[in-house]
């Protein structure tokens, strides 16, 4: 099966879909961007207030396309109970928009006494890859699976300070999640690029360790430099190395369902419509060649 | 305890001063958090890792991003006052809000409170704040409860 090509939803995406409807087959929807959470304020009645028009616009965008959920609010690795009210809200949205699957991040955004500002992709804190974290995450995945009723994916994060001396590497941890919890991987190749550029990891070693069957979705993106570091700011076009890894390792990902380009709407002017169209066309080329490669692998 | 390890890591990322203190005197971590030996060693290695500087910068940048995007005139006109206000705001509200308009609403309310307490700002800065705060309130009011 050929992977779908798509975009991470933001307020500019409907315009891109209207401009080039045939190039966008899939949209990753961040539920947290469709509501305001008034959990911390009394007197607002209902906790979640939805942005007027946003869901209807997404329904229109979703006609003839596949939509998936891409959460940032549940912070599954945090050593604290899962937020059931938010899970229920995600489930309502999943039903409303008919999510084909739901992904979350393998990063920590919440701690007992506060939160870490993510700004969508900027900063999630690294996870301790040990049995304790595995038990916490897999228990929460069980709850999510039961409530959402669709397949689940976890995305590797951009890490600047890896946790040293862990029981498992990140790919080993993702492999175990796939084998024991049935949770697939959303492989963010640009986050591997961030780690590589900052001297944290070797993407080829990482990709060789990762069970290729667990990869159900790929994210590509571009970043920026900040005081000597390279960051996952979703501000640019995908670097050539990321395309190379996608071409080299992609044919092994026989369960791949979607390839998604991420950009933040504040960089739309910089990227330009033509820049984004170029990325979509390149992803279509990749999807075609991967589908062809998979057929060849199966035949041989 | 994992919960303490995670809290310590989040606190370090949000406070470069705490990072400096822990680098100089690692035992400070023991005083503040209930950590196993392994967790303590991991945190010391992480706080001394060059990437911790990037974590701290991203934390700060991500706290500024909602304000820069939605209160651009106010941020520009606040000029040199912005850094100090942002530091005080971040200390008072370490728990960030993922929703940009809600973060902006809280920041504008904070500046209003500071003005009531005697903070002096030029009339054009106050005017920009009032206008942009109104726009944020309007955006937040365009919501519905039920799906």
Q: Residue A262: enclosing H or E segment and its boundaries?
A: strand A258-262
Q: Does A98 touch chain B (CB under 8 A)?
A: no
Q: What is the pLDDT of residue B20?
A: 97
Q: What is the pLDDT of residue B147?
A: 55
Q: What is the pLDDT of residue A111?
A: 80
ipTM given for this complex: 0.91
The dihedral region occupied by A182, where left means phi > 0, alpha psi between -120 and 50, and beta the remainder, is left
- What is the CA angle A208-A231-A75, rounded to 5? 75
Dmax over CA atoms of chain B, in Å, equals 55
Range of the domain at A17: 4-299
Cβ-proximal residues to A141 (8 Å cutoff; 6+ apart), any chain: A76, A152, A177, A181, A183
- Which of A14-23, A136-145, A216-225, B61-70 shows the lowest mean pLDDT across its residues? B61-70
Question: A121 pLDDT exceeds 60?
Answer: no
Shortest CB distance from B10 goes to which of A51, A114, A136?
A: A114
Q: Does A40 touch chain B (CB under 8 A)?
A: yes
Q: What is the DSSP-derived secondary structure letter of residue A201?
A: -
Q: What is the mean pLDDT of residues A122-143?
A: 94
Cβ-proximal residues to A232 (8 Å cutoff; 6+ apart), any chain: A121, A122, A158, A188, A190, A191, A194, A221, A223
Cβ-proximal residues to B89 (8 Å cutoff; 6+ apart), any chain: B107, B110
- Which of A39-43, A132-136, A248-252, B32-36 shows the lowest mean pLDDT across its residues? A39-43
**Calpha distance A180→A192 (Å, rounded):** 24
Q: Does A73 touch chain B (CB under 8 A)?
A: yes
Q: What is the pLDDT of residue A135?
A: 97
H helical segments located in A70-130:
84-97
SS3 A66: strand
**Total structural domains in chain A?**
1
Q: Does B109 touch chain A (CB under 8 A)?
A: no
Q: How many angstroms separate the CA of residue B126 from the nearest CA in chain A? A: 26
From residue A151, alpha-carbon distances to A123, A214, A217, B13 in Å are 25, 12, 12, 33
Cβ within 8 Å, pair B58-A226 = yes
Q: What is the mean pLDDT of residues A107-123?
A: 71
Residues of B in contact with A116 (CB under 8 A): 10, 13-14, 59, 96
- In degrees and rounded to multiples of 5, residue A37 shows phi and psi of -100, 115
Q: Which of A288, A223, A292, A231 minimizes the C-alpha distance to A259? A: A288
Cβ within 8 Å, pair A128-B42 = yes
Residues with pLDDT less than 70, chain B:
144-147
Q: What is the mean pLDDT of residues A198-207?
A: 97
**Which residues are A28's β-sheet partners?**
A8, A68
Banded model confidence at residue A49, pLDDT cuts 50, 70, 90: confident
Q: What is the pLDDT of residue A35?
A: 86
Q: What is the pLDDT of residue B63?
A: 85
Q: What is the mean pLDDT of residues A75-82?
A: 94
Q: Does B24 touch chain A (CB under 8 A)?
A: no
Q: What is the pLDDT of residue A40?
A: 66
The dihedral region occupied by A149, where left means phi > 0, alpha psi between -120 and 50, and beta the remainder, is left
Per-residue pLDDT reduced to its tens digit, A19-37: 999 999 999 999 988 888 8
**Calpha distance A15→A52 (Å, rounded):** 18
Question: A185 pLDDT exceeds 60?
Answer: yes
The dihedral region occupied by A6, where left means phi > 0, alpha psi between -120 and 50, and beta the remainder, is beta
Residues of B in contact with A118 (CB under 8 A): 62, 98
Q: What is the pLDDT of residue B146?
A: 56
Question: A174 pLDDT exceeds 80?
Answer: yes
**Calpha distance B70→B97 (Å, rounded):** 14
CATH value at residue A236: 3.20.20.150
Q: What is the pLDDT of residue A184?
A: 98
Cβ within 8 Å, pair A227-B57 = yes
Is residue A268 within 8 A of residue A274, CB to CB? The reply is no
Residues of B in contact with A38 (CB under 8 A): 102
Question: A77 pLDDT exceeds 70?
Answer: yes
- Which of A61-70, A106-115, B13-22 shows the lowest mean pLDDT across its residues? A106-115
Residues of B in contact with A73 (CB under 8 A): 98
Task: Look at A231 and A44; give whichever has higher pLDDT.
Answer: A231
**Calpha distance A156→A185 (Å, rounded):** 8
Q: What is the mean pLDDT of residues A203-208?
A: 98
Q: What is the pLDDT of residue A299?
A: 67
Dmax over CA atoms of chain A, in Å, equals 64
Torsion sign (Cα): A91, A93, A98, A104:
negative
Q: What is the pLDDT of residue A47?
A: 85
């Amino acid at each position: 099966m050929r992977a779908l090509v798509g975009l991470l939803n933001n307020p500019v995406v409907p315009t891109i879909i209207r401009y080039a409807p045939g190039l966008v087959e899939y949209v990753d929807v961040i539920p947290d961007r469709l509501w305001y959470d008034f959990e911390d304020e009394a007197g607002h009645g209902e906790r979640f207030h939805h942005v007027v028009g946003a869901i209807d616009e997404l329904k229109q965008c979703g006609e003839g396309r596949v939509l998936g959920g891409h959460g940032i609010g549940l912070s599954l690795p945090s050593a604290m109970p899962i937020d059931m009210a938010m899970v229920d809200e995600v489930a309502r949205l999943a039903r409303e928009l008919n999510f084909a699957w739901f992904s979350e991040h393998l990063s920590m955004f919440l701690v007992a006494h506060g939160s870490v500002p993510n700004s969508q992709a900027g900063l999630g804190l690294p996870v301790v890859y040990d049995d304790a974290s595995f038990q916490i995450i897999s228990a929460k995945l069980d709850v999510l699976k039961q409530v959402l009723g669709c397949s689940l994916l976890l995305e590797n994060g951009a890490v600047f300070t890896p946790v040293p001396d862990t029981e498992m590497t990140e790919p080993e941890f993702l492999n175990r999640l796939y084998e024991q919890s049935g949770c697939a991987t959303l492989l963010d190749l640009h986050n591997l690029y961030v780690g590589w550029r900052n001297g944290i990891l070797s993407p080829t070693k990482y990709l060789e360790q990762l069970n290729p069957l667990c990869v159900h979705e790929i994210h590509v993106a571009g970043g920026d430099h900040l005081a000597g570091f390279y960051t996952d700011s979703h501000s640019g076009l995908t670097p050539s190395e990321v395309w190379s890894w996608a071409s080299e390792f992609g044919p092994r990902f026989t369960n791949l369902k979607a390839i998604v380009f991420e950009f933040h709407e504040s960089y739309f002017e910089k990227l330009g419509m033509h820049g984004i169209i170029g990325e979509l066309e390149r992803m279509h080329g990749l999807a075609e060649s991967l589908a062809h490669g998979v057929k060849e692998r199966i035949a041989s | 305890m994992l919960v303490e390890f995670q809290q310590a890591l989040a606190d370090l990322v949000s406070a470069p001063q705490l990072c400096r203190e822990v680098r100089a005197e690692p035992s400070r971590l023991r005083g503040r958090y209930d950590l196993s030996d392994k967790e303590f060693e991991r945190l010391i290695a992480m706080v001394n890792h060059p990437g911790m500087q990037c974590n701290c910068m991203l934390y700060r940048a991500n706290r500024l991003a909602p304000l820069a995007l939605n209160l651009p005139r106010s941020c520009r006109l606040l000029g040199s006052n912005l850094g100090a206000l942002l530091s005080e705001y971040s200390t008072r509200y370490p728990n960030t809000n993922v929703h940009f308009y809600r973060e902006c609403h809280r920041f504008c309310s904070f500046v209003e409170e500071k003005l009531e307490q005697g903070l002096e700002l030029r009339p054009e800065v106050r005017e920009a704040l009032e206008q942009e705060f109104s726009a944020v309130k309007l955006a937040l009011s365009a919501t519905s409860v039920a799906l």
